[in-house]
A and B are shown apart, each in its own frame.
Chain A
Amino acid sequence: MLTLMLKRLAMTIPSLIGVVIVTFLLTRALPGDPAAYFAGPAASPEAIEQIRASLGLDQPLPVQFVHYVIDLAHGDLGSSLTTGQPVAAEIAARLPASAELTLLGLIVSMAIAVPLGILAATRPGSAIDHACRIVTTAGVSLPVFFTGLILVYVFYYLLGWAPAPLGRLGIFDSPPPTITGFYLIDSLLTGDGTTFMASLKQLALPAITLGLFALAPIARMTRASMLAVLSSDFVRTARACGLASYTVVVTYAFRNAMLPVITTLGMVFSFLLGANVLVEKVFAWPGIGSFAVEALIASDFAPVQGFVLTMAVLYVALNLAIDMLYGLIDPRTRMDA
């Protein structure tokens, strides 16, 4: 198992190299001239050239790339042109906010979608099957900012159940001491119930927004793969052996049905990363999505580069984790590695 994990880890290296190259090229291909933007509208052409030289942007691309990789190796993602802050520090400060939101969104959608898909598959044609079908179609056709705004309108503006959508905590709350950067976990670790509740309240609407977004693909996949497994030969065998229906559905069918669902999670997660950017805007969430949008509008390439790089690394890491999980459940993949 350990050697397998190391092998899988080694296999991510080419993807990471690819990611570094692509992020570099992508940000150079962005429209807008960072030097001109940085110099301001009144600057003379000479001043712009000077700034270009000081940013290293007058060098040929391969040279720029080498500098970029060397900086990267030192954990230096450059500095924002607009704020002057180092990008790495900024991302490190904002990443937990995004990660907490995204993971909670994923948990919310799994918690609803998986049972829904299973019940729909075990009772085809029933009310819950129809409910599942409606949810999966509606979830696909609702854009995430729309769900977000509707939720804010209903639960904050009309009902007043949710706090104002103004970030991770209300203005009078103070954040818990940073341990993991996840407010929920940190407040629990320090036994601070008030902050825990406050941050949970803030998280609820955006996490539900993301959860609803990811609900449809997970529920659809769970239902489909559960249906396929329930009509498979080995479930027929389990029934013919008179095993209790709980054993048949959970031990035999469910564990097998989860394999394709786990594979879908990688894709769902990449959807969520994209949706995150919009949700963070709607809920004024101080995450890396809103950070990247601002930088993009300002042609501020270092933060954009840092953002894309972080996302890509996260994505590779998540897929690695999914691979491992898959290997834990399915003995066949453990062998042919």
Chain B
Amino acid sequence: MTAAPALLVEDLSVAFRTRGGVVQALEHVSFAVQKGETLAIVGESGSGKSVTAYAVMGILDPAGRVTAGRAMLGGLDLLAASADQVAAVRGREIAMIFQNPRTALNPIRTVGKQIADVLLRHANVPRREAPGRAVDLLRAVGITDPARRADAYPFEMSGGMCQRVMIAIALAARPSVLIADEPTTGLDVTTQAVIMDLIGDLARDIGMATIFITHDLALAAQRADRIVVMHAGHVVETAPTAELFARPRHPYTAELIAATPDAAANLSELASIPGALPDLRRSDLPPCRYAERCPRRQTDCDVALPAAPAIPEHVVACWNPLS
């Protein structure tokens, strides 16, 4: 791991201003993903996975502010660059696919046109050739009869088909980093596997780095080279997949793995970890946000956590880790 990572996120903090107070949604989040690597970000609902992705993409909603950190994509810091600079690499160098593919597509524009919009913007495709290239992309994501499907609207397609279209849109400009935020939630099990295979294959073709966000630890175990575990807006542990499962060091990771009997993992089992995420609007949040749920808590846990840098192999943010 000596080459510069495809995407390096360091010390990212995000706060939302809300009526009920300031939500400290992310604090000191760091991770890196290498070219060709698949990195999974796992964590319970509300742990800040999507917010991390939106912050990197520059599409946080207006109440959210990046209060610290940098996100290096090649030589460009996405968090410090101007809006125009970011818009120019978004979709070209770094792309994102979302959960709920049916609502993520424009309901009154044909899918062919939606793909063509991205091609025209990023891929230097002449206007005349864009529709044809859109059909090629639909074929590449495994849509049968792509020429006819290009003229269809999202409501005329199944969820799985819409997600294929979403993938075609995201990969139209052959980006170097893809963020897939729960790309298979809401799809049936067979389609889930097909979509994950498709993302994996295309990523390999392009040599793209993939950040795969999920709350399904078993799915992450199958698909990812490395795993980032998030809890309440903190990265609590980062390790290569096999290492993480063999030697989890953070008490929360250990609980997650214990609660995930192999492939049978799902959302309800993740939620079976004792306690709940703390309210991120509190001003008296403990330095370790897992402290109130942690069986290993000690008095020396209540000082600021050790820094968890992005690069080393196995990082844990804990004063009293399992060994």
- Interface residue ranges, A against B (CB under 8 Å): 124, 231-234, 236-245, 247, 251-252, 255-256, 259, 329-332, 335
Could you jot down 12 A-B contacts, CB within 8 Å?
A: A124-B62, A234-B105, A236-B59, A237-B105, A238-B106, A242-B92, A243-B91, A245-B87, A256-B108, A259-B108, A332-B155, A335-B156
Residues of chain A within 8 A of B305, CB atoms compared: none
| Interface residue ranges of B133-163 to A (CB < 8 Å) | 153, 155-156
* B103 close to A (CB within 8 Å): yes
A256 CA to B96 CA, complexed, in Å = 22
Specify which of A231, A238, A241 is in contact with B61 (CB 8 Å cutoff). A231
List B57-78 residues whose CB lies under 8 Å from chain A. 57-59, 61-62
The range of chain B's interface size is 20 to 34
| B87 surroundings in chain A (CB, below 8 A) | 242, 244-245
Q: Which of B38-94 contact A (CB under 8 A)?
A: 57-59, 61-62, 86-92
Contact of A237 among B155, B156, B166 (CB under 8 A): B166
Q: Is the CB of A237 within 8 A of B104?
A: yes
From residue 8 to 66 of chain B, which have CB atoms closer than 8 A to chain A?
57-59, 61-62
Q: Which 8 interchain pairs have the tightest Cβ spacing?
A: A242-B90, A242-B91, A241-B91, A233-B103, A240-B96, A234-B106, A233-B104, A331-B153
Residues 170-210 of B at the A interface (beta carbon under 8 Å):
170
Give Cα A241–Cα B120 distance, bound, in whole angstroms: 11
Does B103 contact A234, Cβ atoms closer than 8 Å?
A: yes
Q: How far is the CA of A252 from the CA of B106 in the complex (A)?
A: 7
A124–B100 alpha-carbon span in the complex (Å): 27
CA distance A241 to B95 in the complex (A): 6
Q: Does B98 contact A (CB under 8 A)?
A: yes
Any chain A CB within 8 A of the CB of B255?
no
A247 touches B166 (CB 8 A): no
> What residues of B have a CB within 8 angstroms of the CB of A256 in the complex?
106-108
Q: Determine whether the beta carbon of B107 is less than 8 Å from that of A234.
A: yes
Q: Mark B237-272, 1 if CB is under 8 A from A, else 0.
A: 000000000000000000000000000000000000
A251 pairs with B108, CB closer than 8 A: no
Nearest CB of chain A from residue B101's CB, rounded to whole Å: 9
Q: Which residue on A lies nearest to B93, using beta carbons?
A: A242
> Given A241-B91, A242-B87, are A233 and B100 also a contact pair (CB < 8 Å)?
yes
Chain B residue nearest in CB terms to A336: B155
B121 x A331 contact (CB < 8 A): no
**Could you tell me the distance in whole angstroms from the C-beta of A155 to the nearest C-beta in chain B?**
41
Residues of chain B within 8 A (CB-CB) of A335 are: 155-156
Known pairs A236-B98, A239-B59; A329 contacts B117 (CB<8 A): no
Question: With a CB–CB cut-off of 8 A, which chain A residues contact B153?
Answer: 331-332
Identify the closest chain A residue to B156 (Cβ): A335
A11 to B32, CA, bound (A): 61
B18, chain A: closest CB distance, angstroms: 15
- Residue on A nearest B153 in the bound complex, by CB: A331
In whole angstroms, what is the CA distance A241 to B123 when docked? 12
User: Within the complex, which residue of A237, A244, A331 is in contact with B108, where a contact is CB–CB below 8 Å?
Assistant: A331
Given contacts A231-B61, A240-B95, 13 further A-B contacts (CB under 8 A): A232-B103, A234-B103, A234-B105, A238-B117, A240-B91, A241-B91, A242-B92, A243-B91, A244-B87, A244-B121, A331-B155, A332-B108, A335-B156
Find the residue from A124, A240, A245, A329 having the highest chain B CB count within 10 A: A240
* C-alpha spacing A7/B170, complex, angstroms: 40
Is B118 an interface position by the 8 A CB rule? yes
* A232 CB contacts on chain B under 8 angstroms: 103
Known: A241-B169, A243-B121, A332-B155. A234 touches B104 (CB 8 A): yes
Q: Which residues of B contact A124 (CB under 8 A)?
A: 62
Tell whether B282 is near chain A: CB-to-CB under 8 Å.
no
Instruction: Check if B281 is an interface residue, CB within 8 A of chain A.
Output: no
Kindly state whether residue B296 has any CB partner on chain A within 8 Å: no
Report the separation of the CA atoms of residues A139 and B108 in the bound assembly, to the nearest whole angstrom.
32
Q: Which residues of A contact B223 (CB under 8 A)?
A: none
Contact A329 B108 (CB under 8 A): yes
| B104 and A332 form a contact (CB under 8 A) | no
Q: How far is the CB of A88 from chain B (nearest CB, A)?
A: 42
Cβ-defined contact, B117 with A251, below 8 A: yes
A30 CA / B279 CA spacing, docked (Å): 65
- B127 sits at the interface (CB 8 A): no
With CB as the reference atom, state the residue of chain B lying closest to A258: B108
CA A330 to CA B153, docked complex, whole Å: 10
> Are B104 and A251 interface neighbours, CB within 8 A?
no
- Shortest C-beta distance, A183 to chain B (Å), equals 38
Q: How far apart are the CA atoms of A236 and B166 in the complex, in Å?
A: 12
Q: Is B293 an interface residue (CB 8 A)?
A: no
The residues of B that contact A240 with a CB separation of less than 8 Å are 57, 59, 90-91, 95-96, 98
B122 within 8 A of A: yes
A-chain residues with CB within 8 Å of residue B95 when the two chains form the complex = 240-241
- A327 CA to B175 CA, complexed, in Å: 37
Q: How far is the CA of A13 from the CA of B87 in the complex (A)?
A: 52
A residues near B103, Cβ cutoff 8 Å: 232-234
Tell whether, in the assembled complex, residue B117 and residue A247 are in contact, meaning their CB atoms are under 8 Å apart. yes
Residue of chain B at shortest CB distance from A125: B62
Closest Cβ–Cβ distance, residue A234 to chain B (whole Å) = 5
**Chain B, residue nearest A256 (CB):** B108
Chain A residue at minimal CB-CB distance from B57: A240
Separation in Å of the A254 CB from the closest CB of chain B? 11
Give the docked Cα–Cα distance between A330 and B169 (Å).
Answer: 22
Complex: A84 Cα to B104 Cα, angstroms:
64
